[in-house]
């Protein structure tokens, strides 16, 4: 057993898995390769939710001239193969039926429908199984999936833009440009990678945002809007019916099309009620693009997993200050011309109570 060899091929699995970003949720991103005598003869990834998984695409990619080598090959896969019937048949059954003798797995799947059952099925069929190759990286690529199933809540990404002196908004509430066009495009990529996006009433009223990813490819996130009294004008973009939109409100009303109402009790914690509903809806991630009040609520409650803060190159003389993150959570920093983007990670983000 050569650990460097295993890591080399598992790294390729991770590269393939990443190609499914924004397309496979609520399923995890998975990559797989078939290796015969150190040569990759097949590779695949989970491309689209509800369609074939990585292992299936990997086996199907093998050229006719190499199909006879499949039983002699080793399959590398970034996540434990499934053992249950979901949208597709179990991948563990496919591996057994193809007589693949050895499987190397990056990390175990903690989703209750799998949770070791795939490995057990393979081992009972006589397949040699090894696990834990680049385990941390394999878990990290699916941190939304694992957070959802282990912490019983969506993965929370906070995002805001601020001026050099830490101002998010003008005193009047009038929209002001802080970030540049390159950062704008990056934000739209972030939107394409999450299942939903959240703003509060003030942001929705003052900025009239579309909350889609028109500057990037992929699916638009579900738009979530906290609006207790439904004061956002019906002429604003969030009412246009172009994308599934959920208004979190205390007002019982009738809407149509892709617009929905989630009625909650504003005398109780809003975040808890919202996250409970998202969990029940199998919505595994939220990009919070609200104003400082909404963002600070998540920070104070310690219910967040990542934060991405864009600091533009300009100064604002006065206005609303940005939220404050705990120290020691910086993970990475990049610059897009004059914009500085800092990535934060909260590894200890709070679990939610059992619903």
Bridge partners of residue 222, in order along the sequence:
196
d(CA 107, CA 138): 6
Residue 138 CA from chain centroid, whole number: 14
Tokens describing residue 221: 């996130």
Is 260 assigned a catalytic role? no
* Catalytic position from the list 7, 43, 55, 80: 55
Going 41 to 47 to 53 to 56, the CA torsion angle's sign is negative
Q: How many CB atoms lie within 10 A of CB 174?
A: 10
- Please choose, from the candidates 321, 288, 322, 289, the residue with its C-alpha nearest in 3D space to the C-alpha of residue 303: 288
Could you give the residue numbers annotated as active site?
Answer: 55
């Amino acid at each position: 057993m050569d650990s460097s060899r295993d890591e080399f091929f598992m790294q390729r699995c991770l590269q393939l898995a990443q190609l499914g970003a924004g397309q496979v949720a609520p399923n995890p991103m998975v990559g797989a390769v078939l290796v015969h005598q150190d040569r990759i003869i097949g590779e695949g990834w989970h491309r689209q939710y509800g369609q074939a998984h990585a292992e299936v695409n990997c086996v199907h990619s093998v050229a006719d001239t190499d199909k006879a080598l499949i039983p002699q090959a080793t399959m590398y896969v970034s996540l434990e193969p499934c053992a249950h019937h979901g949208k597709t048949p179990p991948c563990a059954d496919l591996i057994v039926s193809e007589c693949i003798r050895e499987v190397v797995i990056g990390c175990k799947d903690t989703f209750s429908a799998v949770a070791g059952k795939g490995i057990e099925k393979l081992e009972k069929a006589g397949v040699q199984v090894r696990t834990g190759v680049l385990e941390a990286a394999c878990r990290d690529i699916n941190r939304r999936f694992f957070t959802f199933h282990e912490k019983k809540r969506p993965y929370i990404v906070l995002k805001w833009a601020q001026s050099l002196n830490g101002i998010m908004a003008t005193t009047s509430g009038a929209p002001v440009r802080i970030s540049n066009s390159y950062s704008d495009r990056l934000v739209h990529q972030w939107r394409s990678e999450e299942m939903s996006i959240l703003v509060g009433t003030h942001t929705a009223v003052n900025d009239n945002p579309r909350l889609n990813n028109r500057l990037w490819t992929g699916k638009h996130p579900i738009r979530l809007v906290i609006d207790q009294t439904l004061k956002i004008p019906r002429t604003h973009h969030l009412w246009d019916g172009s994308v599934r939109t959920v208004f979190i409100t205390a007002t019982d009303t009738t809407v149509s099309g892709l617009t929905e109402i989630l009625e909650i009790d504003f005398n109780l914690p809003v975040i808890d009620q919202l996250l409970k509903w998202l969990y029940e809806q199998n919505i595994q991630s939220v990009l919070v693009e609200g104003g400082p009040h909404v963002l600070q609520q998540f920070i104070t409650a310690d219910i967040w997993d990542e934060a991405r803060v864009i600091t533009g190159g300009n100064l604002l003389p006065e206005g609303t200050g940005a939220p404050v993150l705990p120290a020691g959570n910086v993970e990475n920093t990049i610059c897009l011309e004059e914009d500085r983007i800092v990535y934060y990670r909260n590894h200890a983000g709070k679990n939610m109570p059992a619903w």
